[in-house]
Amino acid sequence: MVDHVDHIGIAVHDADLALPFYVERLGLTMIGDELADDPGVRLVYLDGGNVMLQLVQPYREGPVARFLAERGEGLHHICFCVGDIPATLAALPGQHDAPIFMGGRGRRACFLLAEPNGVRVELTERDPVR
């Protein structure tokens, strides 16, 4: 069902202020920077070796802005790569209504409705939408 961990999302108020820690102090390489209009966030991708990190900065009100207001900066989600989101959701009890949206890097994504162990779980498809 799951291919691999795609990325770990970290919610930040300002990605430009967060970047020096990851790039200059930890030595990670920034490999992407894009805006995702549907959730209203800036996504900055960092090469973490075995797994990618994603800094998630809201630029308007929405789920990530609410998350930051309620919980502050930190771990936002873990994203798993799957071949087919609808098929994966159908196999997970109580998840068939999870809304699917256009995520980063041109790929469909969704957040599971339940947060197992208090961790938000995102699914993304391995192939970009054509």
2-125 placed in CATH 3.40.630.10: no
Boundaries of every domain in the chain = 2-125
* DSSP letter, residue 94: T
pLDDT in tens, 14-32: 999 999 999 999 999 999 9
pLDDT in tens, 56-86: 999 999 999 999 999 999 999 999 999 999 9
Number of other CB atoms surrounding residue 66 within 10 Å: 11
Using CA atoms, how far apart are residues 111 and 104, in angstroms rounded to an integer? 13
pLDDT of residue 118: 87
The model carries a pTM of 0.92
